[in-house]
């Protein structure tokens, strides 16, 4: 007796590191539970899949060149490589030109996908999936509160004027400064309809709310209220995070660095437990000189051990638009501090027993990595949805202490030094909450945990789908 055919899923990431890595980790989860996975990728982003393909050799790739766009130079396929004259919207619009190649591939495949799982920037794939007669599941690499805020803003379909924007339909009725609203919303409203690309992004974000289901890289203990809110507004909702705890992991995803990972870990091994502050603002933020000087002064005056990761400017950056480490700083803090220029093994640093605090821009991946490691979070949101994440961390859960706010803000070095010293020198409420939430994160992905159960339910739902089944793609509210 032959066994039932394995359900095939097309996974379509958005080509930005913060979006790709969690969705690839999720693809690994689905493959490990028996689904057949094809990942759509452009040629230059294929190396990012190497850790996934080595751990899940059954996963297939569908490689399409990035279609041309007037503002994207030839050879550019990733958000981080875009010149200042281009934008996220250009990448999204260019990717939409893959609709016909995908349709051709689908219709010629001997066992076509029963579903598409695609990044939330790629809302146009909802219409593609309906055309193919299969469901589209939106993947959110952001937290559930941030998604609730974005969806509520786009539902209004208009720019909300004023210095403070109230969101009465979101649990807790948050009120946010206009400049602290998620960047994708502000740009879409400010640049559309004059910019066809940003008008297209706006339509993509609205289309997400009509998808058959939604996957969140979060967990119930952290965002239960907002996941319940999402489930009332969507067909199916699954919270499967933190994916870093049950995915491919960071191995092989490094980049250029001024300090070898082995040397970093060896140095941490000589530090007392919980004594090190880790400072990193992600892969895209470049600090200005005032900010760089303030952090250096704060670290020096704090007396705390630290690792500070500094982004390396690309050829497109102009000298003077970014800060450099003050002269003599590294000599003065030699022995208790390390500066890493370029990539750093962030997950390993955070999980090391010596690390006790994390100065972060509150990007969602970094947020989940810090929470999972059980370190105190020191929040300095810069843009994107980071102000919303900081609200969740500081005001709502007590997991973080705010040390800065905005890409132009400069913290007082004396106050910063005090907060840094206290973050690794005491047993305050933030530290206790961090340990509690870390346990909850790990419990969520263990067998029987909330994220483990949601993942099993997702696989069961997908396995029951059949290609071109109109019944299966009916969206119910």
Look at residue 268 and tell me whether its pLDDT is greater than 80: yes
Most confident of 54-58, 263-267, 470-474: 263-267
Cβ atoms of residues 286 and 321 within 8 Å: yes
- In this prediction, residues 417-428 reach a mean pLDDT of 87
Predicted local distance difference test score (pLDDT) of residue 477: 35
- pLDDT band (50, 70, 90) for residue 471: very low
User: What pLDDT, on the 0 to 100 scale, is given for residue 427?
Assistant: 66
% of the chain surpassing 70 pLDDT: 90
- With a cut of 80, say whether residue 250 has pLDDT above it: no
CA atoms within 13 A on the CB side of 239: 26
* In this structure, CATH architecture of domain 261-441: 3-Layer(aba) Sandwich (3.40)
Mean pLDDT of 200-221: 96
| pLDDT given at position 79 | 78
Q: What residues are labeled active site?
A: 19, 119
389's tokens: 């994440």
- Share above pLDDT 90 across residues of the chain, in percent, rounded to a whole number: 74
Q: What's the whole-number mean pLDDT along residues 166-175?
A: 93
pLDDT tens-digit profile of 378-387?
999 999 999 9
Q: Which of 440, 436, 459 lies closest to 450, judged by CA? A: 440
User: For residue 8, what are the β-bridge partners?
Assistant: 36
CATH code of the region 8-240: 3.40.50.2000
Rounded to whole angstroms, what are the CA distances from 171 to 120, 144, 146, 237, 442?
Answer: 21, 11, 12, 17, 26
Which single residue is written with the structure tokens 């470049």?
A: 286
Residue 251 has pLDDT above 60, yes or no: no
Which of 121-125, 323-327, 415-419, 426-430 has the least mean pLDDT? 426-430
Q: Using CA atoms, how far apart are residues 178 and 180, in angstroms rounded to an integer? A: 5
Look up residue 257 and give its DSSP letter.
Answer: B
Q: What is the mean pLDDT of residues 399-416?
A: 94
Q: Hey, where are the domains in the chain?
A: 8-240, 261-441
Question: DSSP label at 49?
Answer: G
Give me the pLDDT at residue 475, please: 41
Q: Note whether 97 and 111 are within 8 A (CB).
A: no
Q: Is the per-residue pLDDT at 465 higher than 60?
A: yes
User: Sheet of 276-280: strands edge to edge?
Assistant: 337-341, 305-310, 276-280, 355-360, 376-379, 400-402
What is the pLDDT of the chain when averaged over all its residues?
90
What pLDDT does 276 receive?
Answer: 97
216 forms beta bridges with 140, 239
The string of pLDDT tens digits covering residues 279-327 is 999 877 889 999 999 999 999 999 999 999 998 776 555 555 778 999 9
What confidence tier does 429 reach under pLDDT thresholds 50, 70, 90?
confident
How far does Cα 209 stand from its chain's mean position?
A: 19
With 70 as the cut, is the pLDDT of residue 254 above it?
no
Mean pLDDT over 9-28 rounds to: 95
**pLDDT confidence bin for 28, thresholds 50/70/90:** very high
Q: What is the pLDDT of residue 258?
A: 65
pLDDT value at position 473?
46
Sequence-ordered strand ranges (E) for 220-312: 237-239, 276-280, 305-310
**Secondary structure of residue 318 in the 3-state scheme:** coil
What pLDDT is attached to residue 58?
A: 87
Q: pLDDT higher for 22 or 477?
A: 22
| Residues 6+ positions from 323 with CB-CB distance below 8 Å | 286, 287, 288, 289, 290, 291, 292, 293
């Amino acid at each position: 007796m032959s066994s039932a055919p394995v359900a095939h899923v097309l996974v379509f990431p958005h080509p930005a590191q913060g979006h790709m890595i969690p969705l690839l980790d999720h693809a690994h989860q689905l493959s490990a539970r028996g689904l057949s996975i094809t990942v759509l990728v452009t040629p230059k982003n294929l190396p990012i899949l190497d850790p996934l393909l080595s751990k899940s050799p059954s996963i297939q790739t569908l490689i399409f060149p990035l279609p041309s766009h007037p503002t994207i130079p030839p050879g550019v396929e990733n958000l981080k490589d875009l010149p200042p004259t281009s934008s996220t919207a250009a990448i999204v619009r260019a990717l939409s030109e893959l609709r016909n190649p995908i349709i051709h591939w689908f219709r010629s495949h001997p066992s076509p996908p029963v579903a598409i799982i695609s990044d939330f920037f790629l809302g146009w794939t909802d219409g593609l999936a309906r055309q193919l007669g299969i469901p589209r599941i939106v993947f959110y690499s952001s937290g559930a509160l941030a998604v609730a805020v974005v969806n509520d803003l786009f539902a209004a379909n208009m720019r909300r004027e004023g210095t403070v924007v109230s969101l009465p339909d979101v649990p807790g009725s948050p009120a946010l400064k206009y400049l602290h609203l998620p960047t994708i919303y502000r740009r879409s409203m400010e640049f559309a309809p004059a910019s066809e690309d940003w008008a297209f992004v706006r339509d993509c974000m609205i289309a997400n709310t009509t998808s058959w289901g939604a996957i969140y890289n979060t967990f119930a203990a952290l965002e239960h209220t907002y996941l319940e809110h999402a489930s009332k507004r969507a067909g199916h909702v699954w919270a499967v995070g933190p994916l870093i705890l049950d995915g491919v992991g960071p191995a092989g995803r490094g980049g250029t660095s001024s300090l070898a990972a082995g040397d970093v870990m060896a140095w941490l091994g000589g530090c007392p437990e919980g004594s090190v502050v880790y400072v990193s603002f992600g892969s895209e933020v470049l600090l200005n000189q005032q900010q760089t000087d303030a952090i250096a002064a704060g670290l020096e005056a704090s007396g705390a051990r630290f690792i500070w990761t500094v982004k390396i400017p690309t050829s497109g950056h102009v000298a003077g638009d970014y800060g450099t480490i003050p002269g003599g700083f590294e000599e003065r803090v030699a022995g208790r501090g390390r500066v890493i220029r370029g990539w750093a093994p962030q997950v390993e640093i955070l999980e090391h027993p010596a690390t006790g605090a994390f100065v972060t821009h509150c990007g969602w991946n970094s947020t989940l990595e810090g929470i999972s490691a059980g370190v105190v979070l020191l929040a300095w949101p810069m843009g994107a949805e980071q102000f919303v994440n900081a609200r969740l961390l500081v005001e709502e859960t007590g997991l973080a202490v705010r040390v800065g706010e905005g890409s132009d803000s400069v913290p007082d070095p004396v106050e910063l030094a005090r907060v840094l010293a206290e973050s690794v020198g005491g047993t305050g409420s933030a530290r206790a909450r961090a340990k509690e939430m870390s346990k909850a994160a790990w419990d969520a992905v263990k067998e029987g945990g909330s994220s483990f159960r949601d993942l099993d339910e997702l696989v069961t739902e997908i396995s029951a789908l059949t290609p071109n089944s109109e019944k299966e793609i009916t969206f119910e509210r």
